Structure formats: C-alpha cells, structure tokens
C-alpha cells in the first residue's frame, strides 16, 4: 500500500503562490499539525468530495486571514470540480491540501495524489487588501 504522508503546501509571496510537497506525519493528528502550521485556528474548503472512486481533497486555510495586515482575495479552482474565492494572507503559508475520506477523516496524500493536486489546483490573486 502506498504511503499517505504528503501534503501540498502553498506559500504566499505576494503576488506569487508557490506550491511544494512536504512530509505529513502519519503518527500525529492532522488538526494539531494544521494548527501549528498556521499558528492558530484553521478553516476548510472542500475541493473534491470523497466518493467510492476518488479520495476527497480538502484545502485548509487560516481561519482569520482577514485579520492579517496584508490579505488577498484569491480565485480557487480545482479542475472542473470546484470554483470559488478565498481570502488568504499575502505572506507565509496560505493553504495546505490534504486527503479526506467519506467519514471526514483527514490524512496525508500519496505521491500520485499530491501530483494530481499540483496539476489541477489553480490559485490566482484577484485583489490585494491592505489592513495596515
């Protein structure tokens, strides 16, 4: 069985979005890793719902991005399965993408699933907001 120990992490360097694949600890809960990554509470965007043929794909973001000094409105698209807008910080970690099963349990991705995310997820800056 292929290991599910990858996360696709998007770093924001205004206006650029840089996606990388990072290790995700299988022996620690995803929520504790996400809270540490974002230094606080997180919110989730369901990019693809889990069904019998595909693993679900969730994008985790900072819960209070609008409270950051620099934030942007980003268009988020995942192939033809999701289209929406999210507020993300302009610097630091903007999004962490993980797998989810039909029971709502979050876990790391396989290498193949991480590659699928990188090929299909589009994050485009629409408007930058300055809260200084």
Q: Is 57 exposed, middle or buried (0-12, 13-18, 19+ CB in 10 A)?
A: buried
Confidence tier at 48 by pLDDT (50, 70, 90): very high
Q: Which region among 5-9, 90-94, 109-113 has the lowest average model confidence (pLDDT)? A: 90-94
Q: Are 9 and 22 in contact (CB under 8 A)?
A: yes
DSSP-derived letter for residue 105 is: -
**Does residue 14 register a pLDDT over 70?**
yes
Q: Are 47 and 86 in contact (CB under 8 A)?
A: no
**Does residue 123 register a pLDDT over 70?**
yes
Residue 104's region, left for phi above 0, alpha for psi from -120 to 50, else beta, is left
What is the mean pLDDT of the segment spanning 28-45?
Answer: 90
pTM of the predicted protein model = 0.92
Task: Write out pLDDT tens, residues 65-109.
Answer: 888 888 999 999 999 889 999 999 988 899 999 999 999 999 999
Q: Are 66 and 41 in contact (CB under 8 A)?
A: no
Residue 110 CB neighbours (<10 A): 17
């Amino acid at each position: 069985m292929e290991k599910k120990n990858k996360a696709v992490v998007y770093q924001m360097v205004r206006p650029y979005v840089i996606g990388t694949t990072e290790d995700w600890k299988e022996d620690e809960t995803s929520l504790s890793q996400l809270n540490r990554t974002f230094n606080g509470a997180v919110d989730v965007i369901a990019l693809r719902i889990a069904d019998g043929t595909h693993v679900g794909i969730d994008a985790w973001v900072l819960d209070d991005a609008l409270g950051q000094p620099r934030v942007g409105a980003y268009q988020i698209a995942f192939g033809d399965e999701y289209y929406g807008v999210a507020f993300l910080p302009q610097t630091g970690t903007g999004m962490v993408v993980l797998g989810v099963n039909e029971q709502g349990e979050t876990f790391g991705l396989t290498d193949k699933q991480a590659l699928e995310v990188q090929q299909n997820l589009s994050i485009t800056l629409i408007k930058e907001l300055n809260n200084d």
